[in-house]
Amino acid sequence: MPFSTRSLSQLLHGPAPALPRALDDLAEWWAGLGARQRMVVGITGVLLLVASAAQWSGSVDARWGGAPVRVFVASSDLAPGAKAGGLEERWYPPVVVPPGAVSEVTEGARLAFALPAGTVLTEAHLDPRGPGRGLAAGLRALPIPLEAGWGVEAGGWVDVWVLSAGEQPATLVARSCPVLQVEAADQTATALVAIPEAAIGAAAEGLALGRVLLAHAPPPA
C-alpha cells in the first residue's frame, strides 16, 4: 500500500508509542527541563561528542605513530641523474615513512639513485654528489657526447667503442655500462656513462680525438 498523507497524519497524531522504561524516564526528564536547561544539556552533549571524536582520532594517530606526514612518491621509474620531477604529494602514517623522507623538493634537483615508481623520495636520493654517489666500486662517471637521435636515455645500457683509423676499425673498451644522465641541447647531447676505471684511459683518448661511439646494449648478465 503506497504511503499517503493520511498515513503520515496517523503517524504524527495520537497517543505516544510505548517505550522501554529507561527511554520513557529519559523522555519525561527531558520534557521537565526548562528552555535554558535544554540548551545547556545540548551544548554539553555536542562538546562530549567532539571530545570523543578527538580522542578516537588521537588513538588512531598513536596506533600509526602520530599524525600523517607529507611525502613525495615517484609516479614513474626515474633513473639516476634524472630531475626529481613527476612526483605525487601524499600523506602517509609515520610508521610507513622511510628515514630521511623529504617534505619539500628543490626545483632542478637531480637523483643520485634510481627511484622506482611508488617509492618515497628521501634525502639519500638527492645527495649533492649527484649520480656519482650511487656508483659501485671500480666505476667512474664519464661524460660522452652523442647525437640526439641515437635514443640513448638515462637508465639505459650501452657499450663504449673507440673508433680507430688503423687496421682495427673499432675497439670495445667497456661493455654494458649504465647511462646515469643525458643532457640534450639542440641536435647534440651528452651522456654521463658509468664505465670501469680500467677503461677510462682508452675512452678519454677516444674522446680527445672525437672517436667514441655508444651502442645500445643489454644489462650485464
- Check residue 169 and give its pLDDT: 82
- Check residue 215 and give its pLDDT: 93
Do 205 and 147 meet the contact criterion of CB atoms below 8 Å apart? no
Q: How far apart are CA 57 and CA 30, in angstroms?
A: 31
Distance of alpha carbon 126 from the chain centroid: 13
- Check residue 58 and give its pLDDT: 63
Do 160 and 172 meet the contact criterion of CB atoms below 8 Å apart? yes
Domain boundaries, the chain: 135-216
Q: Where are the alpha helices (DSSP H) in 5-68?
A: 5-12, 21-31, 35-63
Stated pTM of the model: 0.52
Distance of alpha carbon 173 from the chain centroid: 37
Which residues have C-beta within 8 Å of that of residue 159, sequence separation ≥ 6?
A: 172, 174, 175, 176, 177, 214, 215, 216, 217
Do 179 and 151 meet the contact criterion of CB atoms below 8 Å apart? no
- Check residue 164 and give its pLDDT: 78
In tens digits, the chain (221 residues) has pLDDT values of 455 666 666 666 666 666 677 766 676 676 777 777 777 777 887 887 877 777 666 665 556 567 888 999 988 888 777 778 788 999 888 878 888 888 888 877 888 777 888 889 988 888 777 777 778 888 898 999 988 778 888 889 999 999 876 667 888 999 999 988 888 777 778 888 999 999 999 999 889 888 899 999 998 87
